[in-house]
Amino acid sequence: MDGKGKTKDNDKARKDIALYCRRPNLELKLHTNGKMLKPKVNYTLTTEEAKLVCRWIKELRMPNSYSSNLARCVDVEKGKMSKIKGHDCHVFMECLYSIINRFDYFTDS
């Protein structure tokens, strides 16, 4: 969820995109002040969307022994998840993320 220092999306990788992938929407762009601008990728959540996902996880109830209490790993105000264990991360990515994609959760609020 766009953590600082936790991504491999750096300037060198964006230059490689121009050479190997031919995805112009992800390439570095020259800004008017002379600096290079790195556009956001299309799968990055906005701050409000991240807060909605965190609120959903905070209110989520799981069956006993399915995963630990994910609500303890969520900070709704900042829109971040932290201290999540490996199995819980697997549960989130394999099961819960697909539920978020199926339902139009972001437009209900």
Please report, for residues 2, 8, 47, 48, 100, the alpha-carbon distance to residue 64 in angstroms, rounded to integers and kept in the order given.
31, 36, 31, 30, 21
Does residue 108 carry a pLDDT above 90?
Answer: no
Percent of all residues in the chain with a pLDDT value above 70, rounded to a whole number: 81
What pLDDT does residue 7 have? 67
pTM (two decimals): 0.57
How many C-beta atoms lie closer than 10 Å to residue 81's C-beta?
A: 19
